[in-house]
Amino acid sequence: MSSGLYIHIPFCVRKCPYCDFYSVTDRAGAGNYIDAVLGELKNYNEKFDTIFIGGGTPTSIGKELVRLCEALPDAEEFTVEANPGTVDTELLKALKSAGVNRLSFGVQSFNDNELRALGRIHTAVQAEEAVSMARTAGFDNISVDLMLSTPFQTAKSVKKNLEKVRELGLDHVSAYSLIIEEGTPFYGAELPLPSEDEEREIYWLTHDFLEDMGLKQYEISNFARPGRECRHNIKYWTLEPYIGLGAAAHSYHGGRRCGNAPDIAAYVRGGGRNVGSEVVDENERLRERFWLGLRMTGGIAYNGEFPDEVGKLVKKGLLERADGRIRLTKKGIDLANLVFMEFV
């Protein structure tokens, strides 16, 4: 079985006030950082069928990102995360020539007032232009991230976002409901957020709209035209092995989980590598198979494990059983955290 390769690029032009991904805005050390990543890659003698370069904002370090992609082997699916405020056709063409075949744009919204409230560095028009530049550069596998239930968002404004997705002919959407993360400027701030009921309305409206246009839900937050599902992310939910390179990247490999420290300076010096390495025993793997696998709409094969927990969740209408599998019901999707807590 081939592994997935994840590379974390911890640089952004500006920090968004809701985000707790590890990244810094001082990009002066990007060249040394990429050298360190290429050094870390040498520790592995593997074949990778998927590569995912995420962040942070990989495209915020332009030429250094291209250098990294050129040095990596080809992969069947090779994704780069991109911020619409950091791309031009030249950069996208260079990424395409370097073997990248999938782009994931952090669009969040096609409404300028929502983008401003999220502290984004780009406008809605720039997001549209980024998608069209990607097509000009030769990309046909393009995904966008949208954020749901953000400040000022309404059912009406979400529809406008979704109509844009349809107009742009996109084949993949990740739709994440806003999480207010501790330690971010949004935490504890007075924000004009939709109520819990509105939040669920926005989620299901998004679900129904995307399904109607042929983008099928395959995970709680992910929708794709059949065949365009993100193979790399599916590896995380189905416990396939992956290796993470870079500061704050995690790996699951050879039956172990480990991660690099979120510290660029230490990483560049060769430190903070593979900390907290632990063997994932049989019991833990089973739990993970449940709480990660149940994120997928197809659910997981079921052979009578956790009979009490599963029985209770089926009785409450949160899980359903069919054809030797279990999966979340609609109610289970709304209360997914309650379901996962049973297996963590």
**Cα–Cα dist 311/300, whole Å:** 15
> With binding defined as CB under 6 A, does residue 147 bind ligand SF4?
no
- Could you tell me if 78 and 51 are in contact, meaning their C-beta atoms sit under 8 angstroms apart? yes
Applying CB under 6 A, which of residues 77, 81, 171, 229 lies at the interface with ligand SAM?
A: 81
Helix (H, G, I), strand (E, B) or coil at 180: coil
Helical segments of the chain, H only? 30-41, 62-71, 89-97, 112-117, 124-136, 155-167, 196-212, 231-237, 264-268, 282-293, 307-315, 330-334, 336-341
With respect to ligand SF4, which residue has the nearer C-beta, 142 or 339? 142
> With binding defined as CB under 6 A, does residue 83 bind ligand SF4?
yes
- Could you tell me if 209 and 198 are in contact, meaning their C-beta atoms sit under 8 angstroms apart? no
**Cα–Cα dist 252/256, whole Å:** 6
- Of the candidate spans 16-24, 125-133, 174-182, 293-301, the one that interacts with ligand SF4 by CB under 6 A turns out to be 16-24
The site partner of 147 among ligand SF4, ligand SAM, none (C-beta below 5 to 8 Å per kind) is: ligand SAM
- Could you tell me if 246 and 260 are in contact, meaning their C-beta atoms sit under 8 angstroms apart? yes
Closest by CA position to 150, among listed 192, 97, 92, 211: 192
Applying CB under 6 A, which of residues 7, 9, 12, 100 lies at the interface with ligand SF4?
A: 12
Q: Which of residues 19-38 bind ligand SF4 (CB under 6 A)?
A: 19, 21, 23
- What interhelical angle do 62-71 and 30-41 show, nearest 10? 10
> With binding defined as CB under 6 A, does residue 56 bind ligand SF4?
yes
| Contacts with ligand SF4, 86-125, as mask; x by CB under 6 A | --------------------x-------------------
- Of the candidate spans 49-57, 125-133, 233-241, 277-285, the one that interacts with ligand SAM by CB under 6 A turns out to be 49-57
Tell me the residue number closest to ligand SAM, measured at CB. Answer: 106
Residues engaged in binding ligand SF4 (CB under 6 A)? 12, 15-16, 19, 21, 23, 55-57, 83, 106
